[in-house]
Amino acid sequence: RLRLHDGKLIKDRRYHLRTYPNCFVAKELTDWLIDHKEAPDRETGIRLMQKLMDHYIIHHVCDEHSDYKDAKLLYRFRKDDGTFPLSKDMKVFMRGQSLYEKLVSMEESILKVREENSVKYQRTFLGCEMVDWLVQEGEVENRKEAVELGRALLEHGIIQHVSNRHHFFDSDLLYQFWTNFRRRRRLTELLNENSSRALSESPDSPFCLRKLNPDPGNTSFLSVQTNKEIKIVSAVRRSSITSLAGNSNPYFSAAPTLVFPPVAECNPKSVLKRPITNEELLSPGAPYIKKTLTIVGDAVGWGFVVRGGRPCHIQAVDPGGPAAAAGMKVCQFVFSVNGMYVLHLDYQTISSLIMTGPRTLVMEVMEAVE
């Protein structure tokens, strides 16, 4: 947007005796994308702009077109006309960006390269240092507000504990900015968004329970949770997902060979007796212990169902699958996936992380003390 303003592609334009402030001509913008190597061809340029429309970043000046047309039509960035929707997530992201820019531009910044357990980390700070700085700079009124802000930044993936083991605390724990706001991003990254969120709901999801060698005439098995909500779930292969998503993972390149009748729903009712909050899990003295599980996926998947959100829980486990062998149990809460703190994420996002990750899955889970 700023580059288009600098290049005078965004300007006030007159059409049918009316002036439209801060707008651009779609056809001219497509030309610009190709000329500036932001898109290899017109078709890609159109897809990129459609992504921006879908995310409410640009729109037709009169909202007469819901799609982006490569024509002499006027469009505008919503930030230029005040219609950009500032959701809670976006406000946190923009606050994080503002704090990051302020910190990196300071002469004596608290952001430094530090070492912990012989590993060097970039853009790090101590939790108590950040709290001190936020109060001193007037970004918050007191230390409690500073901790709340730090927790919001961590839950949105902007900062993190260097080894992903802790939430944000006013202490000497070491944190870092996980998002590098100054990294130059190319528009084409928009087209690389993984489509596995939608696929994770499909019958071929590797998060449905699976069975390697179904007995003749028995192509499904029951969830381990013995209650009225038991559903029959068909076996699936992870390779069917990777082929759909265009994943070139060599571990799962074989074509699917298991074919079964239509799949039933994967236990829609939660197995939890009551909802649990992150605050309950993380509060000092809480009756939960953390375990690390290493699960090596096989040709069918990992053998568990994850559901819920903030925090997610293990809904069901295949008794004969890799997850069960690693010690996974129903009702455990998912703390981290391959080193990434995930208590603040929903199950679709966690499913996407697992599907696009390595075959060997390292998960930290929290379970109630018996």
At 254-280, the pLDDT tens digits run 333 333 333 333 445 788 988 899 888
CATH code at position 145: 1.10.10.10
Give the residue-averaged pLDDT of 312-321: 88
| 44: in domain | yes
Total domains, the chain: 3
How far is it, in rounded angstroms, from Cα 126 to Cα 26?
A: 47
Eight-class DSSP state of 155: H
pLDDT given for residue 138 in this prediction = 94
Name which of 228, 241, 236 is nearest 209 in CA terms: 236
Residue finishing a domain among 77, 106, 133:
77
How far is it, in rounded angstroms, from Cα 350 to Cα 364?
A: 13
Give the residue-averaged pLDDT of 82-90: 81
State phi, psi for 269 to the nearest 5 degrees: -85, 130
- Tokens 């700085």 sit on residue: 133
pTM for this model (two decimals): 0.46
How far is it, in rounded angstroms, from Cα 162 to Cα 150?
A: 14
pLDDT given for residue 355 in this prediction = 80
Tell me if residue 80 falls in helix, strand or coil. helix
With residue 135 as reference, give the H or E element that holds it.
helix 127-136
pLDDT given for residue 170 in this prediction = 95
| 146: in domain | yes
Residues above pLDDT 70, as percent of the chain: 79
99 lies in the same domain as 28: no
Q: Express each pLDDT in 152-182 by its tens digit.
A: 999 888 999 998 889 999 999 999 998 777 7
337 lies in the same domain as 286: yes
Average pLDDT, the chain: 78
pLDDT given for residue 103 in this prediction = 92
Residue finishing a domain among 152, 177, 202:
177
pLDDT given for residue 317 in this prediction = 87
46 lies in the same domain as 96: no
**The pLDDT of residue 84 is above 60:** yes
Per-residue confidence band for 351, with pLDDT thresholds at 50, 70 and 90 = confident
100 lies in the same domain as 156: yes
Domain that holds residue 141: 88-177
Q: State the amino acid at position 305 in one-letter form.
A: V
How far is it, in rounded angstroms, from Cα 322 to Cα 254?
A: 19
- DSSP E strands in 230-311: the ranges are 232-234, 288-296, 304-308
Tell me if residue 1 falls in helix, strand or coil. coil
Give the residue-averaged pLDDT of 271-296: 90
305 lies in the same domain as 357: yes
pLDDT given for residue 268 in this prediction = 55
Tell me if residue 57 falls in helix, strand or coil. coil
| 23: in domain | yes
First to last CA, the chain: 56
CATH code at position 310: 2.30.42.10
Angle subtended by helix axes 143-155 and 88-104, to nearest 10: 110
69 lies in the same domain as 93: no
**The pLDDT of residue 309 is above 50:** yes
With residue 145 as reference, give the H or E element that holds it.
helix 143-155
Q: Express each pLDDT in 42-66 by its tens digit.
A: 999 999 999 999 888 999 999 888 8
**The pLDDT of residue 213 is above 60:** no
| 170: in domain | yes
65 lies in the same domain as 114: no
| 27: in domain | yes
Per-residue confidence band for 193, with pLDDT thresholds at 50, 70 and 90 = low
Contact 196, 208 (CB under 8 A): no
Q: State the amino acid at position 251 in one-letter form.
A: Y
Look up residue 269 and give its two tokens. Answer: 């009712």
Give the residue-averaged pLDDT of 86-92: 82
State phi, psi for 199 to the nearest 5 degrees: -70, -25
73 lies in the same domain as 39: yes
Q: State the amino acid at position 122 in one-letter form.
A: Q
**The pLDDT of residue 209 is above 70:** no
Per-residue confidence band for 123, with pLDDT thresholds at 50, 70 and 90 = confident
| 55: in domain | yes
pLDDT given for residue 182 in this prediction = 75
Per-residue confidence band for 321, with pLDDT thresholds at 50, 70 and 90 = confident
| 304: in domain | yes
169 lies in the same domain as 148: yes
Contact 264, 232 (CB under 8 A): yes
With residue 368 as reference, give the H or E element that holds it.
strand 360-368
**The pLDDT of residue 287 is above 50:** yes
Contact 139, 100 (CB under 8 A): no
65 lies in the same domain as 143: no
Region of 19 (left: φ > 0; alpha: ψ -120 to 50; beta: rest) is beta
Residue finishing a domain among 24, 53, 77:
77
- DSSP E strands in 26-87: the ranges are 58-60, 74-77
23 or 220: which leads in pLDDT: 23
How far is it, in rounded angstroms, from Cα 362 to Cα 119?
A: 20
